[in-house]
Structure 1
Amino acid sequence: MDECAMGEVCGPQRQCENTPGSYTCTYACGQGLRKTSSGSSCEDINECEEQPGVCDQTCLNLIGGYRCDCRRGFRLIGMTRCVDIDECSKFRSPCSHGCENTEGSFRCTCPEGYSILPNGRCKDIDECRTFQHDCLEEQECRNTQGSYSCITHCPAGLKPANNVSCTDIDECAERLSGCHYTQTCTNTWGSYACSCSQGFRAAGPSHPCLGFQYVEEPRTRPLPPPRRARPASHGYPTSEFQEKLLQKFYLQNSCQAGFEYLNQECKDIDECRLRDRCQHRCHNTFGSFVCLCPPGYRLNHNQRTCDDIDECVEQSVKCGMEEVCFNQRGSYRCVAMPCPTGYQRDRATGSCILDCRRGGVSCPPGVNYAHILAFKTASLPAGIKANQDLVRLMAYDQLGNLVPQTLFTIIENETGVQFRIRLKNGRGILRTLQPLVAGQEYKMIVEAVSYDEREHFIKYSTKFIIFLHISEYPY
């Protein structure tokens, strides 16, 4: 007879086993458990020891089961498999420049000419200071961002050719000679020579050519400097006194532009003595002058004023992944503008946006953005005085419309200089309270809180991080 078929003869949590002429009651063990040798109790099965390789990496035994874990840099797929995490493909790369994924980790890389820092950022290698350049011994090594340049210095009268050798400067063609305009300039290697026409002579390179020329008629007549017309002679030899008067008359009326008659000769006029010739610096030349601009500027087409060079655009400056090229007057700088965790970069504006649907925060009805982090840069000329407007701030909704009900507040200012925000037509205007120092940079944070026009609840919140640069020059 099978006593076990008669019902629960062993009671709860016990198992009935039929035997010839009788039956026995033993413990019923669940999944991951088994009976002890005596059969009177259950014991755990250590799957990690009894099933080597049940997990890809780490096996943790549990009562009645086990759990597979993965090392740092891996993630669990299913119950047992570990796969590598590609840190470089994340929205926010852990590196400022290049990122190379490795098994269970990653490695930050830098472009050629840069070295990696412990924090993963890249630092320019000064090839000139570390002697990692191939400039010639007679050349000057000049370090640049990510590279270097070899500068060839040539002696007077020569200029660099292909930045390797020197070539002659044609002082005559480039109007750099010191010859008087009545003299003939002849270029030579590294120099030049001044000469007069036959029958004329001069006291030196910058002196006029003077003299007499004998013609077929039995009389002499004084000749003016070359290329200048003069009245015909009277048909008879002139006296020495008359000749001096004629020379003085013709010289006074034959000086070209840029010269003045002085001490019986045409002297160069130093136009740079006159004020306001050039915006930056005036350099006098023989018979004229040129205006010069500081580094980072170029001469305007009017040949007087200086225009800033936008290196970010013209030189295609490449900054780090979380950096933006900030063009400054006369220079540029890569400014770090990282987005906080949970924010996304708006490609159109460069702002960081916290989306309500992804940020896990609550927003008013019809609003998708919980918070906006905007960056503002401005490079201003020297001479900024107190009570002067600098930057205009405007808060927009998600459709790009101006939100007029907005309050602006300076919440961080570590510059040591006082500013204030004045409101005008729903806009915040950053204004100075004291003069700004030339050549300095200022950074501050302004918070803009926008309210609903009807319900008066906070609808948008924008934070402006402002970078100001003051030029060393008033332009």
Structure 2
Amino acid sequence: MLGLCVILAVLARTVAQDAEEPVSYTCTDGYEYDPVRQVCKDIDECAIVADACKGGMKCVNHFGGYLCLPQNAQIFVSSGDEPSQPAEPSAPANPPQSPGQGQSEVQTHVQPGRGPGRRVSSSRILRCTPGFILDEQNYCRDIDECTRGRHTCSADQICYNTRGSFLCQCQPGYQKNGDQCVDRDECLLSHYCMHRCVNTPGSYYCECNSGYRLASNNHSCVDVNECQVSQPCEHQCHNLIGSFICQCNRGFELAPDSVSCIDIDECAYSPYMCQYACINTPGEYSCTCPDGYQLQGTRMCQDINECETSHECTEEEMCWNYYGGYRCYPRNPCEDPYVRTSENRCVCQPTTACRGGPQSIVYKYMSIHSDRTVPADIFQIQATNIYPNTHNTFRIRAGNEKGEFFLRRSSNVSAMLVLTKSLEGPLELIVDLEMITHHTVANYRTSSLLRLTIIVGPYAF
């Protein structure tokens, strides 16, 4: 409680003729009348008010009230703007109690009354403690050292006025190191960054990892949908938390940069992608077949039977289809002295011209693939008529000059033609297979000939 210590002495009016009439006194708040000394004396609130100050503050009695001050507070005597000096101890006629906040008692005196029987109350001269100034109403007002330039804060510090003094504090983001203010590294001490903290002089800012961006609070990080923002992928983009992944359309694969797509050369994967030829195109491939074949499914080649579709054989010719093409053969292959008795069968008339030759010639045609695996059974010869008391033998009469074939006797009436060497087409071979029949009872022999035309196709399919 601050205020001017004013003692109001109210003198009772007396009748001039009665000098012995008693005088009454009235004291201001914070004081009480001492009838012995006949003065107003200060009330020590610190002694009579229980728990007057809170928060560990010490109670200091003051004229007309009391102060709550820090434990290390000192009281100085000051007169306005004069330099403050510590109060010198004195022994006044009436020992004072602790002065009020911002004030201290300097002197106590009594002025003699004027007029018979009149008394004037005692007065006190007040001076303010350092940090205060006495105003015109005799109140001690706080001095704002920060605005008056009466502080010792450096240029990089902020001055804060306090009651009776001031404080020097560092700028936000800085901290004291002795008498200097140095940058406070928020990234090492405390920050709110979700990913990365970047310290700056007096402050800091947050950064996010790749694939994230700062949220509106400048601290949190949220995922960036790269597929919508930048469309980085050449074909398909799939967003992930903090990243993305690219995928390519069918027939393509990711390039080393993981965003571009390059064509897959399916034809280079395996020579078996297509039975004949593989043609690579962007994102896919296709199989083709040579002339005389057509594509079956996606990779296989199937022979075209030109004899059923289109050919150039005449009516006197027979169309014979083989793998990859066709050929025209005479419908009547018989030559004199042989005559045609049935389709592809020629019989010699009973004349001397046929002596030593086969009695009959049968014409057969067959087609095989090129590069066929050997040995392979390719054709069976068999007697059409079976007679008792006969013995049959088989041989290759012509067409095996290079030893491509072998005739294996299966029974008395049949034999198997075996391919012993792989043949590469296109190629045409004519092989004469002879069956010799020996009549054991009549002791004579006859023979018949099978003229086999073998056409080797140009491919292995």
Please identify the structure whose Cα radius of gyration is greater.
Answer: 2
**TM-score, L = length of structure 2:** 0.42
**TM-score, L = length of structure 1:** 0.40
